[in-house]
Amino acid sequence: MRGMEEDIAYTLLTEKEIYDKVHEIGKKISEDFAGKDPVFVGVLKGCFMFMADLIRCVNINSEIEFMAVSSYSGTNSTGAVRINKDLKGDIGGRHIILVEDILDSGVTLNYLKNYLMVREPASISIATLLDKPARRKAPVKADYFCFDVPDAFVVGYGLDYNEKYRNLPYIGVLKPEVYSS
């Protein structure tokens, strides 16, 4: 049986690099949203590790919510976003920070931002661990991001391929033969 590590071509971002950058972003969000009591809205499943660490780095009053959406089939975005779990509370007049693992095509985050704007929040910001501008199809950008990444298939620290590799403590590039077979 193959182990996860054997499927990784190379480590793109180490645990320490991620830790340091998440703390830096958490400090910046704390400064920018001081006194605003934002609602962090995590986009499941990929955001869970990043969001947990980010929330621990933010030292302001805030709330957390989660949404679950799907738009991927294997390694590609289908372009059709489906909401599997919506917000329960009223976000009217609130400052929303959408938390996502990776801003790739932008289709999902663009859809979510427009979907939530109808509920009249005070603002919507986007915080993402990774930004992959080479794959952008929708006009969306992150207000807070930790790393620009190349156009490679990355896994770990919450990011997956077919629900696997999320538990790696670092970000690695998956070997092409793993996802092309």
Task: Report pTM.
Answer: 0.90
Q: How far apart are CA 127 and CA 129, in angstroms?
A: 7
- What is the pLDDT of the chain when averaged over all its residues? 92
Nearest to 112 by CA among 86, 136, 91: 86
Q: How far apart are CA 7 and CA 118, in angstroms?
A: 42
**Active-site residue (options: 53, 101, 104, 131):** 104
- pLDDT at residue 173 is higher than 90: yes
Three-class SS of 75-137: CEEEEEEEEEECCCCCCCCCEEEEEEEEECCCHHHHHHHHHHHCCCCCEEEEEEEEECHHHCC
104 as an active site residue: the answer is yes
pLDDT digits (tens, 9 = 90+) for 66-98: 999 887 555 555 567 889 999 988 999 999 999
The residues, any chain, with a CB within 8 Å of residue 177's CB and separated by 6 or more, are none
Nearest to 38 by CA among 127, 118, 123, 103: 123
- Taken in order of first residue, the domains within the chain and their CATH numbers are 16-149 (3.40.50.2020)
For Cα atoms 65, 66, 70, give the angle at the middle one, nearest 5 degrees: 160
Element (H, E) at 179: helix 176-179
pLDDT digits (tens, 9 = 90+) for 50-73: 999 999 999 999 999 999 988 755
